[in-house]
Amino acid sequence: MTLPNERAQLGAKVRSLRRREGLSQALLASRLGISPSYLNLIEANRRPLPAALLIKLAQEFRVELHTFATDSDARLLANLMEVFADGLFEGHGLTSTDVREMASSSPAAARAVLTLYRSYKTASEATESLASRVGENESQLPSEEVSDFIQQRMNHFPALEEAAEEVCKKARLGPDELYPGLVRHLEKAHGISVRVARWDAARGAMRRFDPIRKELVLSELLPTRSRIFHLAHQLALVSLSPALDALIGSDAHLTSAASRALARVALASYFAGAVVMPYAPFLQAAREERYDVDVIGRRFRVGFEQVCHRFTTLRRPGAEGVPFHMIRIDVAGNISKRFSASGIRFARYSGACPRWNIFQAFMTPGMIRIQLSKMPDGATYFCIARTLHKDSGGYHAQQPVQAIGLGCQLAQAKELVYSDGVDLESAEVTTPVGVTCRVCERTDCEQRAFPSLRHPLQVDENVRGVSLYAPADPL
């Protein structure tokens, strides 16, 4: 059975391929032998895509059938490949073909293997004190479950977009009236007063809400843009609680109280972003300024990360933005935020590829790094990365530094201002990258840290290549 969200992805893929070829709905419908109205229903996600028509589409666009594979199928295979890349399975002689066949022929068994592996990793990491202990009844970290929840929804929540637009209209929130307007609305609609407190009186909290006294206290350390965001975030929690619960309660990815609580926070932040950066004006600005993060950030008075995150939410049918992927990482390589609408895959159980420009960004703080990233499967992505400093507690506080990576498929790169002056067709400016060492088949990488699943380790003590796992060419 095809799930509604899978049908939605197929409809979007059909529309994307049609537009890529410059075809009208009427012309493509004629070639497929169907009516334009039926094709329109398919692209609008209101009709399923029959197998016979799927084959015709593949022939018409000269693509393989796997192009139409649902995103959930592709994620299942990618996750399974990463799991079997673990050294735990090294002696079993598994090949990539074996893993692909398992994912396609027995998806339920494949998901069961993922659940088992997650439990194994959780127990192993807890035993070795490599991560915080996970609750006994949880199969994976709450943050991972929330990431899956957001990915499954393609990071687009129409109900929250509509609620944000309604609030902006009701409270008359203009670009120059966001802070006072939100303060007035919280007081008038919900009886909540807002106060800015000295950092030493806030006891380490950037935002603290007292539901008994109905008082919201913000730290003086927050810049104005962050205060606005926290006001909108709190507004979501007090006014949209039933809507948040409805979104969370119906999702099977959220299996624990901790993951559901974290999902509420994520959805409240989504609403806040939609209030501060309303969908239609933000999409218009993105197109006009060609996704220039700094220009758009100043226009909407928000930070670099907020703009990048909002880019990834522009998935409204008929008014889509560029399909981006986004990742946030710290200097130790820990991934704290990830989402992919571009199709790129991120590592879930092991370290990321050190060739990514997001790691190079730490060497040039504050500067945008550009990269054409070519994956082992041949897909190429246009990526930008930049570091950012989080709000801190003053001189004696640590200054946490993270890096944000944002990217899209090469076909959409020209829509980004950052591609100006870059020869997008040149192989010389392309950097080969991978998801993680164990599933990457490139043996000539000087930064390889582990042997590839596809190429068992072979050590010749008399010959050394660029690394221990990158053998030299035979004489």
What would the pLDDT profile of 99-120 be if each residue is shown by its tens digit? 777 776 677 788 888 888 877 7
- Which pair of structure tokens corresponds to residue 83? 């799991």
pLDDT of residue 52 exceeding 90: no
Is the pTM of the predicted complex or chain greater than 0.85? Answer: no
Check whether 70 has a pLDDT greater than 90: no
Query: 3-state DSSP call for residue 419?
Result: helix
Q: Secondary structure of the chain: what % helix, strand, coil (to 5)?
A: 50, 15, 40
pLDDT at 26 over 80: yes
**Domain match, 130 and 26 both:** no
Question: So what's the pLDDT on residue 388?
Answer: 92
Residues 222 and 165: their CA atoms lie apart, in Å, by 25
Pairwise pLDDT comparison (366 vs 58), residue with the higher score: 366
Alpha helices in 313-432 (DSSP H): 357-360
pLDDT digits (tens, 9 = 90+) for 281-331: 999 999 999 999 999 999 999 999 999 999 999 999 999 999 999 999 998
Let me know if residue 433 belongs to a domain.
no
Band (134; pLDDT cuts 50, 70, 90):
very low
d(C-alpha 412, C-alpha 380), whole Å: 11
Pairwise CA distance, residues 342 & 324, whole Å = 5
CATH number, domain containing residue 351: 3.30.450
Same domain, 451 and 414: no
User: Which residues pair with residue 242 across a beta bridge?
Assistant: none
pLDDT tens for 398-411 read 778 999 999 999 99
Report the candidate in 372, 312, 26 with the shortest Cα–Cα distance to residue 147. Answer: 312
Residues 260 and 212 in one domain: yes
Identify the CA nearest to 121 among candidates 403, 427, 350.
350
Q: What percent of the chain has pLDDT over 70?
A: 84
Let me know the angle formed at the C-alpha of 162 by 161 and 168, rounded to the nearest 5 degrees.
Answer: 90
Number of domains in the chain: 5
Look at residues 276, 298, 328 and tell me which one is the last residue of a structural domain.
276
Indicate whether 32 and 157 sit together in one domain.
no
On whether both 339 and 450 belong to a single domain, the answer is no
Give the domain extent around 16: 4-68
For residue 289, CA distances in Å to 63, 200, 294, 296, 419 come to: 33, 41, 10, 7, 13
Query: Could you tell me if 157 and 183 lie in one domain?
Result: yes
